[in-house]
Amino acid sequence: MAAMAAQDVVMPTMQLTLAAGRTEPEKVSLTLEILFMLTVLSLAPAIMLTVTSFTRIIIVFHFVRQALGVQALPPSQVLASLAIFMTVVIMTPVGKEINDNALQPYLREEIGFNEALKKAEAPMRTFMFKHTREKDLSVFYAVTKMEQPRSKDDVPTIMLAAGYVISELKTGFTIGFLIYIPFLILDMVISSILLAMGMMMLPPMMVSMPFKLLLFVMVDGWGLLVGSLVNSFMV
């Protein structure tokens, strides 16, 4: 009886269809625009990571934490939050240009959706071109065997974003390496002193970490680091 009752149960179903009277091209276009906007919102975290300054900042922050020898301080959540705030500050001019030239005219129905999208894309492309190396961009053209572009306008935005990410990774690792060197030298000096004193059983990292923290605080390390990272995007 239980098996027969289970067979009689009808599971509810859901169907998404255009209502009657909404098959006009304008209505369909509006529906597609809404779906596109929902897709963009769902991909917003990935977009922020790839086409903004977030990548370089978070890489440098993790290099600094490794160089100081403190594996869990500051916490990753704090570093990520600080990187997000810095990204907002750095990208404010780009966001303002997008708002003034694309978003507000579109909300006032002065321009269409496609034109607004192109005007919003232009400031982001200018920002990415400014920080993308030609060599990194050519890597993807070599992989895809596409024809080399004659001008910046011929570069697809997807290819530009990929090249921008590679350039940001390289720049972030370069800055992190330069920051790592002074702390590495301090580790070597402490290790040599301990070896000369015969304290071979004492871990050098345990002794050098307070000195590295003291040095970093005395020179206002976080202020210098944040200021240098912000200025690196302003040049």
Q: For 68-113, how does the pLDDT look when each residue is reduced to its tens digit (9 = 90+)?
A: 777 777 777 888 888 888 888 888 888 888 888 877 777 777 777 7
Q: What average pLDDT does the segment 22-45 reach?
A: 64
d(CA 94, CA 109) in angstroms, rounded, equals 22
Question: 3-class DSSP state for residue 20?
Answer: coil
Q: What average pLDDT does the segment 35-40 reach?
A: 70
d(CA 141, CA 158) in angstroms, rounded, equals 12
Whether 116 is in a domain gets the answer yes
pLDDT score of 232:
78
C-alpha closest to that of 64 among 76, 53, 48: 76
Whether 76 is in a domain gets the answer yes
H helical segments located in 146-203? 157-196
Diameter of the chain measured on Cα atoms: 88
Whether 151 is in a domain gets the answer yes
C-alpha closest to that of 83 among 44, 47, 56, 123: 56
Whether 40 is in a domain gets the answer no
pLDDT score of 14:
44
**pLDDT tens profile 194-225:** 777 776 666 666 777 777 777 777 877 778 88
Whether the predicted pLDDT of 57 surpasses 80 = yes
pLDDT score of 6:
47
pLDDT score of 5:
46
Whether the predicted pLDDT of 67 surpasses 60 = yes
Domain coverage including residue 95: 52-64+71-234
pLDDT score of 16:
45
Residue identified by tokens 């496609």 is: 114
User: Are the beta carbons of 51 and 87 closer than 8 angstroms?
Assistant: no
Helix (H) or strand (E) holding 120: helix 113-130
Whether 25 is in a domain gets the answer no
Whether 145 is in a domain gets the answer yes
Whether 158 is in a domain gets the answer yes
d(CA 29, CA 114) in angstroms, rounded, equals 11
Give the contacts of 25 (CB within 8 A, at least 6 positions apart).
none
Number of domains forming the structure of the chain: 1
Whether 187 is in a domain gets the answer yes
